[in-house]
């Protein structure tokens, strides 16, 4: 996928309608950066409207070998050019899914309590790939309450650690703890296109711990028919038990 195509998809995901002020956020973050020791994590203020980094912390040097000015001058286009080509499509799918989830499932008044996480492989200044786990907390929203300015933390993990591209959204609850509200694995398609709509209905109910008898009553089919569907599902997915299927699907939200 070329940069022009990435820009088009990215801009559509984060399409927004006004331009908030950043001065106060950036001033405080610059002050904080003076006191943070060098480590395997750096952070930026990201602007999805202008495709820019409004601020880049000094730790980017120890993490990736780039000076902060390189990321600020090159913006997101430069950043995209360093993402592993095999991860770009899944990374964009992850961003789009997180945005859809936010707009459809999270009330406007709670969106400032969200935290998003996703990952990808990234080429550092030595042209070696490393894993980046990115966590972004929205700072400001457009006039439709779509998050557009974020404080992004980037944690570097050795590329020898094999990570699939996943995305999650956590919401700060009434106990001041982050509660996972969304998780998806974009590197592993769990259900093949050969799974029928009826089989998908049955899988949904299996995950909810319904028995074959209860599923039959709910779908107006016999328990024997349900069992036949269950055997076919296992065969198509090349797994040996319903328990394995349920465990796999409960760990991953991309079941349909």
Name all domains of the chain by residue range, CATH numbers in brackets. 3-185 (3.30.450.20), 197-250 (1.10.10.10)
Higher pLDDT, 78 or 196: 78
How far apart are alpha carbons 220 and 107 in whole angstroms? 36
User: Mind spelling out the 3-state secondary structure of 49-106?
Assistant: CCCEEEEECCCHHHHHCCCHHHHHHHHHHHHHHCECHHHHHHHHHHHHHHHHHHHHHC
The pTM for the full model equals 0.71
How far apart are alpha carbons 131 and 64 in whole angstroms? 11
Task: Kindly list the strands in the beta sheet with 129-141, ordered across the sheet, starting from the edge strand earlier in the chain.
Answer: 52-56, 41-47, 147-157, 129-141, 114-123, 166-172, 178-185
How far apart are alpha carbons 183 and 167 in whole angstroms? 6
φ/ψ of residue 45, rounded to 5? -100, 115
What would the two tokens of residue 26 be?
């950036």
How far apart are alpha carbons 195 and 56 in whole angstroms? 46
Q: What's residue 256's pLDDT?
A: 46
How far apart are alpha carbons 161 and 182 in whole angstroms? 24
The whole-chain average pLDDT of the chain stands at: 86
Does the pLDDT of residue 88 top 70, yes or no? yes
- The residue-averaged pLDDT of 113-142 equals 94
Does the pLDDT of residue 5 top 90, yes or no? no
What would the two tokens of residue 205 be?
């109910």
How far apart are alpha carbons 42 and 66 in whole angstroms? 11
How far apart are alpha carbons 121 and 80 in whole angstroms? 11
How far apart are alpha carbons 206 and 8 in whole angstroms? 39
Where does residue 139 fall: left (phi above 0), alpha (psi -120 to 50 degrees), or beta otherwise? alpha
Number of other CB atoms surrounding residue 162 within 10 Å: 7
Residue 204 — pLDDT band, cuts 50, 70, 90? confident
Q: What's residue 188's pLDDT?
A: 66
What would the two tokens of residue 42 be?
């750096």
């Amino acid at each position: 996928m070329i940069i022009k195509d990435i820009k088009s998809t990215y801009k559509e995901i984060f399409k927004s309608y006004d331009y908030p002020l950043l001065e106060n956020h950036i001033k405080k973050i610059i002050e904080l950066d003076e006191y943070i020791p060098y480590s395997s994590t750096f952070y930026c203020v990201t602007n999805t409207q202008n495709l820019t980094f409004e601020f880049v912390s000094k730790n980017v040097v120890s993490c990736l070998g780039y000076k902060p000015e390189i990321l600020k001058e090159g913006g997101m286009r430069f950043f995209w050019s360093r993402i592993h080509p095999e991860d770009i499509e899944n990374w964009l799918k992850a961003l789009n899914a997180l945005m859809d989830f936010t707009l459809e499932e999270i009330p406007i008044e709670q969106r400032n309590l969200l935290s998003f996480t996703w990952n990808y492989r990234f080429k550092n200044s030595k042209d070696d790939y490393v894993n980046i786990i990115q966590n972004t907390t929205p700072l400001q929203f457009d006039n439709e309450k779509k998050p557009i300015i974020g404080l992004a933390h980037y944690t570097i993990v050795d590329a020898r650690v094999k990570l699939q591209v996943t995305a999650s959204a956590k919401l700060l609850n009434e106990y001041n703890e982050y509660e996972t509200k969304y998780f998806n694995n974009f590197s592993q398609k769990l259900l093949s296109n050969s799974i029928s709509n009826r089989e998908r209905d049955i899988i949904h109910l299996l995950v909810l711990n319904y028995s074959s008898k209860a599923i039959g009553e709910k779908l107006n089919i016999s328990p024997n028919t349900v069992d036949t569907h269950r055997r076919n599902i296992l065969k198509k997915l090349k797994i040996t038990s319903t328990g394995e299927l349920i465990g796999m699907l409960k760990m991953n939200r991309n079941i349909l």
